[in-house]
Structure 1
Amino acid sequence: MWNRSFLILHGVENRRPAEHWQYDLAQRLREHGEQVFYPQLPDPDQPSLDAWVEAIEAELRMMRGERVVVCHSLGCAAWFHVAARRGETPAADRVLLVGPPGPSAFSWDAIAGFTPEPLDLTRLKLAVATPRLVCSDNDPYCPEGAAEVFGRPLGCDVDLLTGAGHLAIPDGYGPWPSALDWCLDPGTRLTVN
């Protein structure tokens, strides 16, 4: 019987490359004997919100014990919609949001359907525990500042990293030890790689 399980959600155009911190995190968690779900979400180049939500819900149904969700980029926006559709019943016990795209990013046609604009972020119940948001002060996909745009209305604990970009491979985020540390101990604050 699993005491907890992890669901890792990638972003747009991501095919779970081995160099990405999420891929490394999945491997490290498995080495610790954890149950990990790291699905390839449908059509990552031209994603459909409904298809992603359906895939995420299917993964959630397989999870056992404490349910921990780790989202990056568009995976965060997808999680907002999962939460909105669930209403007052959170789908996870803990959630880590990393580098969610800001309002200006949704002008890109490929992800426009994921915009959280119609959602009341102040009413979303993302998880049982207070969600943790990790963002950078220079994320090109959220120039508006994720701490302000998402952290405040969602009531997140925020780790604002200096100069970490989009927290992706080009920014040096292959292995990211503090992400693993948070997964194993939710009291951990995330730091730069």
Structure 2
Amino acid sequence: MPRRPQRSVPVVLVPGWEGSEEGHWQRWLAGQLTEAGREVHWADLGDVDDPSLDRWLSGLRATLAPLPADGFDLVAHSLGAVLWLHHAADPGDSPRPARVALVSPPSPGTTIEAIAEFFPPPIDIDAVRRAADGTVLVAGDDDPYLPEGIAAAYATPLKIATTVVPGGAHLNTAAGFGEWPAVLDWCRRDNLAFY
């Protein structure tokens, strides 16, 4: 059986609050993709320890601006996934990605003061569909920042395909997600499904 060609488009990584610390799967993913000759862009959010919706949106849009429309993928984690929903609601003239993976977005009802201006995020089916060729959600079934679960919080209201990771918690370093082959496999394949 002939081998399928691997995906080769650039990948934009959008970290969450406090960034993707050393050992985080986004850092591992960036290394794996770079080693394979893929172009990787980190969204320039400025100070990830001090979230600002306006500054983060501006930084995300500046990162996307030089990329080819429908010619890149975007992988966002945690507050970065919520940032994407804000961007999708008002993308301006930013190029749109081919595919988006939103990993572990916190609950729309989050009340953490330091990130309050991000909540509630826009839950707009049409905007999300216009913002990319395809979007998928990924979350643990026991994420402490998403007590109602990914289906109730985002998947059902947005009608988005979803992958639930048993015991995945917040899919971060604390939950043991340093090397995460599933996200690398997603970046290598052309189809939208995560698993």
Partner of 1:94: 99
Q: Normalized against structure 1, the TM-score is what?
A: 0.87
Secondary structure in structure 2 of the residue aligned to 1:124: helix
After superposition, the C-alpha distances for 1:148-180 in whole angstroms (9 at most, x for unaligned) are 211122222111111110000010000101101
Mapping of residues 1-193 of structure 1, within 5 Å? 4-14=9-19, 16-64=20-68, 66-86=71-91, 91-105=96-110, 107-117=111-121, 119-125=122-128, 127-187=131-191, 189-190=193-194
User: Cα–Cα, structure 1 residues 190 and 92, in superposed 2: closer, same or farther, change >3 Å?
Assistant: closer
Instruction: Work out whether residues 98 and 133 of structure 1, in 8 Å CA contact, stay in contact via their aligned partners in 2.
Output: yes
Secondary structure in structure 1 of the residue aligned to 2:37: coil
Structure 1 residue 190: Cα displacement: 4.0
**Unmatched 5+ stretches in structure 1:** none
Question: Aligned AA for 2:84?
Answer: W
Q: How many residues align?
A: 186
The whole-number CA distance in structure 2 between the counterparts of 1:109 and 1:11 is: 15
Aligned-residue sequence identity (percent) comes to 37
**Unmatched 5+ stretches in structure 2:** 1-7
Structure 1 residue 17: Cα displacement: 2.2
Instruction: Work out whether residues 49 and 114 of structure 1, in 8 Å CA contact, stay in contact via their aligned partners in 2.
Output: yes
Query: RMSD across aligned C-alpha pairs, in angstroms?
Result: 2.1
